[in-house]
Amino acid sequence: MTHFSFQRLSRRRPRPPLPRQVRFITSFNPTLYEASGRRCVETFRAHNPDYALTAYVEGDRDAPTLLRRDLDRIGVESVDLGTLPLLAWFLDVAGDVIPRELGGAAPPEAFPGEGPDSGDVWFRKHMYRWFRKIVALDHAVREHEGVLVWMDCDCYSKAPLPRQALEGAFDGAAVFYMKGNRKCTETGVVGYDLSREGVPALVEGMKRHYMERRFLALPRWDDAFVFDYVRARQKKSLTCRDIGRRALERGHILRTTLLAAYLEHDKGLHSRTMGLVR
Protein backbone atom coordinates (compact mmCIF):
# COMPACT_ATOMS: atom_id res chain seq x y z
CA MET A 1 0.00 0.00 0.00
CA THR A 2 1.47 3.36 -1.01
CA HIS A 3 1.68 6.04 1.68
CA PHE A 4 2.92 9.60 1.32
CA SER A 5 2.35 13.17 2.37
CA PHE A 6 0.37 15.79 0.49
CA GLN A 7 1.69 18.64 2.61
CA ARG A 8 3.69 21.22 0.65
CA LEU A 9 7.36 20.95 1.64
CA SER A 10 9.54 23.91 2.57
CA ARG A 11 12.23 24.78 0.03
CA ARG A 12 14.59 25.86 2.79
CA ARG A 13 14.27 22.85 5.04
CA PRO A 14 12.75 19.81 3.28
CA ARG A 15 10.98 17.39 5.55
CA PRO A 16 10.53 13.65 4.97
CA PRO A 17 7.01 12.81 3.74
CA LEU A 18 4.52 11.66 6.35
CA PRO A 19 2.87 8.28 5.75
CA ARG A 20 -0.53 8.74 4.13
CA GLN A 21 -2.78 6.07 2.67
CA VAL A 22 -4.31 6.71 -0.76
CA ARG A 23 -7.62 5.07 -1.61
CA PHE A 24 -9.52 5.31 -4.89
CA ILE A 25 -13.26 4.59 -4.73
CA THR A 26 -15.89 3.97 -7.40
CA SER A 27 -19.39 2.52 -7.70
CA PHE A 28 -21.47 0.39 -10.08
CA ASN A 29 -24.25 -2.18 -10.45
CA PRO A 30 -23.96 -5.35 -12.57
CA THR A 31 -25.00 -3.56 -15.78
CA LEU A 32 -22.48 -0.76 -15.36
CA TYR A 33 -19.86 -3.26 -14.26
CA GLU A 34 -20.10 -5.07 -17.58
CA ALA A 35 -20.33 -1.78 -19.50
CA SER A 36 -17.27 -0.13 -17.97
CA GLY A 37 -16.72 -0.99 -14.32
CA ARG A 38 -14.70 -4.13 -14.99
CA ARG A 39 -12.36 -2.18 -17.26
CA CYS A 40 -12.15 0.57 -14.63
CA VAL A 41 -11.00 -1.66 -11.78
CA GLU A 42 -8.94 -4.13 -13.82
CA THR A 43 -6.86 -1.43 -15.50
CA PHE A 44 -6.46 0.52 -12.29
CA ARG A 45 -5.36 -2.52 -10.34
CA ALA A 46 -2.99 -3.62 -13.13
CA HIS A 47 -1.29 -0.22 -13.30
CA ASN A 48 -1.53 0.75 -9.62
CA PRO A 49 -1.18 -2.32 -7.39
CA ASP A 50 -0.01 -0.27 -4.39
CA TYR A 51 -3.02 2.04 -4.06
CA ALA A 52 -6.10 0.89 -2.15
CA LEU A 53 -9.19 0.48 -4.35
CA THR A 54 -12.76 0.09 -3.11
CA ALA A 55 -15.87 -0.47 -5.23
CA TYR A 56 -19.35 0.28 -3.86
CA VAL A 57 -21.66 -2.23 -5.53
CA GLU A 58 -25.38 -2.89 -5.70
CA GLY A 59 -27.93 -5.04 -7.47
CA ASP A 60 -30.92 -7.34 -7.01
CA ARG A 61 -30.82 -10.63 -5.13
CA ASP A 62 -27.37 -12.25 -5.32
CA ALA A 63 -25.83 -9.68 -7.67
CA PRO A 64 -23.77 -7.84 -5.02
CA THR A 65 -22.37 -11.13 -3.72
CA LEU A 66 -21.37 -12.27 -7.21
CA LEU A 67 -19.82 -8.91 -7.98
CA ARG A 68 -17.84 -8.95 -4.76
CA ARG A 69 -16.45 -12.39 -5.55
CA ASP A 70 -15.21 -11.17 -8.92
CA LEU A 71 -13.77 -8.02 -7.37
CA ASP A 72 -11.99 -10.06 -4.73
CA ARG A 73 -10.37 -12.08 -7.50
CA ILE A 74 -9.10 -8.86 -9.10
CA GLY A 75 -7.85 -7.54 -5.78
CA VAL A 76 -10.49 -4.88 -5.17
CA GLU A 77 -12.15 -4.26 -1.82
CA SER A 78 -15.93 -3.91 -2.04
CA VAL A 79 -18.87 -2.61 -0.06
CA ASP A 80 -22.52 -3.52 -0.67
CA LEU A 81 -24.40 -0.23 -1.10
CA GLY A 82 -27.56 -1.99 0.01
CA THR A 83 -26.14 -2.35 3.51
CA LEU A 84 -25.61 1.41 3.86
CA PRO A 85 -28.78 2.99 5.26
CA LEU A 86 -28.24 6.45 3.74
CA LEU A 87 -29.41 5.29 0.31
CA ALA A 88 -32.76 4.06 1.66
CA TRP A 89 -33.14 7.03 3.97
CA PHE A 90 -32.82 9.42 1.07
CA LEU A 91 -35.41 7.48 -0.92
CA ASP A 92 -37.80 7.95 2.01
CA VAL A 93 -36.96 11.66 2.21
CA ALA A 94 -37.13 12.47 -1.50
CA GLY A 95 -39.10 9.66 -3.10
CA ASP A 96 -41.74 12.08 -4.38
CA VAL A 97 -39.20 13.67 -6.77
CA ILE A 98 -37.35 10.49 -7.73
CA PRO A 99 -38.62 8.81 -10.95
CA ARG A 100 -40.67 5.65 -10.64
CA GLU A 101 -38.10 3.81 -12.76
CA LEU A 102 -35.52 4.50 -10.05
CA GLY A 103 -37.74 3.44 -7.17
CA GLY A 104 -39.47 6.74 -6.41
CA ALA A 105 -42.99 8.01 -6.99
CA ALA A 106 -42.49 10.83 -9.52
CA PRO A 107 -44.38 10.18 -12.80
CA PRO A 108 -42.66 10.29 -16.22
CA GLU A 109 -44.27 13.64 -17.09
CA ALA A 110 -42.28 15.23 -14.26
CA PHE A 111 -39.17 14.80 -16.41
CA PRO A 112 -40.02 15.65 -20.03
CA GLY A 113 -37.50 14.81 -22.70
CA GLU A 114 -34.87 12.12 -22.87
CA GLY A 115 -31.11 12.01 -22.71
CA PRO A 116 -28.49 14.67 -21.92
CA ASP A 117 -30.00 17.02 -24.52
CA SER A 118 -33.00 17.57 -22.22
CA GLY A 119 -30.86 20.03 -20.25
CA ASP A 120 -31.46 20.63 -16.57
CA VAL A 121 -34.30 18.08 -16.60
CA TRP A 122 -31.67 15.38 -17.19
CA PHE A 123 -29.75 16.48 -14.10
CA ARG A 124 -32.88 16.40 -11.97
CA LYS A 125 -34.15 13.07 -13.32
CA HIS A 126 -30.97 11.13 -12.57
CA MET A 127 -30.16 12.78 -9.27
CA TYR A 128 -30.81 9.54 -7.33
CA ARG A 129 -28.39 7.59 -9.54
CA TRP A 130 -25.61 10.05 -8.81
CA PHE A 131 -26.51 10.24 -5.13
CA ARG A 132 -24.57 6.96 -4.89
CA LYS A 133 -21.42 9.10 -4.90
CA ILE A 134 -22.59 10.86 -1.76
CA VAL A 135 -23.39 7.55 -0.07
CA ALA A 136 -19.98 6.11 -0.96
CA LEU A 137 -18.11 9.25 0.10
CA ASP A 138 -20.05 9.47 3.37
CA HIS A 139 -19.11 5.89 4.21
CA ALA A 140 -15.49 6.19 3.08
CA VAL A 141 -14.89 9.39 5.07
CA ARG A 142 -16.05 7.63 8.23
CA GLU A 143 -14.21 4.38 7.59
CA HIS A 144 -10.85 5.55 6.27
CA GLU A 145 -8.10 8.07 6.84
CA GLY A 146 -5.60 9.63 4.46
CA VAL A 147 -6.59 10.55 0.93
CA LEU A 148 -9.67 9.56 -1.05
CA VAL A 149 -10.00 9.92 -4.81
CA TRP A 150 -13.43 9.40 -6.33
CA MET A 151 -13.33 7.84 -9.81
CA ASP A 152 -16.41 7.28 -11.99
CA CYS A 153 -16.71 3.73 -13.26
CA ASP A 154 -16.44 4.93 -16.86
CA CYS A 155 -12.87 5.99 -16.12
CA TYR A 156 -9.92 3.70 -16.74
CA SER A 157 -6.15 3.67 -16.24
CA LYS A 158 -3.66 4.05 -19.07
CA ALA A 159 -0.39 4.01 -17.14
CA PRO A 160 0.90 3.81 -13.57
CA LEU A 161 -0.02 6.95 -11.63
CA PRO A 162 3.13 8.17 -9.86
CA ARG A 163 2.68 9.51 -6.37
CA GLN A 164 4.40 12.72 -7.48
CA ALA A 165 1.66 13.30 -10.07
CA LEU A 166 -1.05 12.85 -7.45
CA GLU A 167 0.82 15.14 -5.07
CA GLY A 168 1.01 17.64 -7.92
CA ALA A 169 -2.76 17.52 -8.40
CA PHE A 170 -3.28 18.58 -4.78
CA ASP A 171 -0.30 20.96 -4.71
CA GLY A 172 -0.94 21.71 -1.06
CA ALA A 173 -4.74 22.00 -1.38
CA ALA A 174 -7.29 19.94 0.54
CA VAL A 175 -9.38 19.07 -2.52
CA PHE A 176 -8.63 18.90 -6.24
CA TYR A 177 -11.35 19.00 -8.88
CA MET A 178 -11.82 19.64 -12.62
CA LYS A 179 -13.84 22.63 -13.76
CA GLY A 180 -11.81 24.88 -16.05
CA ASN A 181 -14.20 26.69 -18.39
CA ARG A 182 -17.09 24.31 -17.72
CA LYS A 183 -20.31 25.60 -16.21
CA CYS A 184 -20.06 23.00 -13.44
CA THR A 185 -17.30 20.80 -12.11
CA GLU A 186 -16.74 17.43 -13.74
CA THR A 187 -16.90 15.09 -10.76
CA GLY A 188 -15.62 12.03 -12.65
CA VAL A 189 -12.37 12.37 -10.69
CA VAL A 190 -12.14 14.36 -7.44
CA GLY A 191 -9.48 14.13 -4.74
CA TYR A 192 -10.06 14.67 -0.99
CA ASP A 193 -7.34 14.89 1.66
CA LEU A 194 -9.26 13.84 4.76
CA SER A 195 -6.69 15.23 7.17
CA ARG A 196 -7.23 18.79 5.97
CA GLU A 197 -9.57 21.29 7.55
CA GLY A 198 -13.00 21.43 5.97
CA VAL A 199 -12.91 18.21 3.93
CA PRO A 200 -15.15 16.04 6.14
CA ALA A 201 -17.43 19.08 6.49
CA LEU A 202 -17.65 19.36 2.70
CA VAL A 203 -18.88 15.78 2.38
CA GLU A 204 -21.26 16.27 5.30
CA GLY A 205 -22.52 19.48 3.71
CA MET A 206 -23.33 17.70 0.44
CA LYS A 207 -25.15 14.96 2.33
CA ARG A 208 -27.21 17.44 4.34
CA HIS A 209 -28.03 19.37 1.18
CA TYR A 210 -29.84 16.28 -0.08
CA MET A 211 -31.26 14.97 3.17
CA GLU A 212 -32.76 18.37 4.01
CA ARG A 213 -34.18 18.68 0.47
CA ARG A 214 -32.30 21.92 -0.19
CA PHE A 215 -31.61 20.74 -3.74
CA LEU A 216 -35.24 21.46 -4.66
CA ALA A 217 -34.50 25.19 -4.69
CA LEU A 218 -31.80 24.79 -7.37
CA PRO A 219 -32.15 24.29 -11.13
CA ARG A 220 -29.95 21.18 -11.10
CA TRP A 221 -29.93 18.39 -8.54
CA ASP A 222 -26.89 16.37 -9.62
CA ASP A 223 -23.82 15.82 -7.46
CA ALA A 224 -21.63 18.12 -9.60
CA PHE A 225 -23.92 21.10 -9.15
CA VAL A 226 -24.22 20.36 -5.43
CA PHE A 227 -20.45 19.96 -5.10
CA ASP A 228 -19.93 23.45 -6.53
CA TYR A 229 -22.78 24.93 -4.49
CA VAL A 230 -21.57 23.58 -1.13
CA ARG A 231 -17.89 24.16 -1.89
CA ALA A 232 -18.55 27.84 -2.66
CA ARG A 233 -20.20 28.26 0.72
CA GLN A 234 -17.29 26.68 2.56
CA LYS A 235 -14.46 28.41 0.69
CA LYS A 236 -13.26 30.24 3.82
CA SER A 237 -12.52 26.95 5.57
CA LEU A 238 -11.54 24.84 2.56
CA THR A 239 -8.58 25.13 0.18
CA CYS A 240 -9.40 23.68 -3.22
CA ARG A 241 -7.49 23.46 -6.50
CA ASP A 242 -9.02 23.38 -9.96
CA ILE A 243 -6.75 21.20 -12.14
CA GLY A 244 -8.98 21.63 -15.19
CA ARG A 245 -7.66 23.79 -18.01
CA ARG A 246 -10.36 23.73 -20.65
CA ALA A 247 -13.19 21.46 -21.64
CA LEU A 248 -13.10 19.73 -24.99
CA GLU A 249 -16.03 18.40 -27.02
CA ARG A 250 -18.90 17.03 -24.91
CA GLY A 251 -17.35 18.55 -21.78
CA HIS A 252 -14.30 16.26 -21.65
CA ILE A 253 -11.80 17.90 -19.31
CA LEU A 254 -9.67 15.16 -17.71
CA ARG A 255 -7.69 15.09 -20.96
CA THR A 256 -6.45 18.65 -20.31
CA THR A 257 -5.30 18.04 -16.72
CA LEU A 258 -1.97 16.87 -15.35
CA LEU A 259 -3.54 13.43 -14.79
CA ALA A 260 -4.27 12.93 -18.50
CA ALA A 261 -1.29 10.65 -19.09
CA TYR A 262 -2.54 8.20 -16.48
CA LEU A 263 -6.34 8.26 -16.46
CA GLU A 264 -9.04 8.49 -19.13
CA HIS A 265 -12.72 9.32 -18.69
CA ASP A 266 -14.97 7.67 -21.25
CA LYS A 267 -17.53 10.39 -20.68
CA GLY A 268 -20.95 9.78 -22.21
CA LEU A 269 -20.39 6.04 -22.60
CA HIS A 270 -23.42 5.03 -20.53
CA SER A 271 -25.81 7.61 -21.98
CA ARG A 272 -24.91 8.77 -25.47
CA THR A 273 -23.04 5.65 -26.62
CA MET A 274 -24.75 2.70 -24.93
CA GLY A 275 -28.14 4.17 -24.06
CA LEU A 276 -28.06 2.73 -20.54
CA VAL A 277 -28.97 6.04 -18.92
CA ARG A 278 -31.77 7.88 -20.74
3-state secondary structure 39-75: HHHHHHHHHCCCCEEEEEECCCCCHHHHHHHHHHHHC
pLDDT tens string 233-267 = 998 889 999 999 988 876 689 999 999 999 999 88
- Which H helix or E strand runs over 132? helix 127-143
pLDDT tens string 30-83 = 999 999 999 999 999 999 999 999 999 998 888 888 999 999 999 999 999 999
Strand, helix or coil for residue 82: helix
Structural domains of the chain sorted by starting position, each given as residue range(s) with its CATH number in brackets: 30-273 (3.90.550)
Residue 276's pLDDT band (cuts 50, 70, 90): low
- Which H helix or E strand runs over 90? helix 85-94
What is the pTM for the complete model shown? 0.89
CA dihedral 175, 227, 60, 90 (to 10 degrees): 130
209/138 Cα distance (integer angstroms): 13
162/4 Cα distance (integer angstroms): 11
249/68 Cα distance (integer angstroms): 35
214/157 Cα distance (integer angstroms): 36
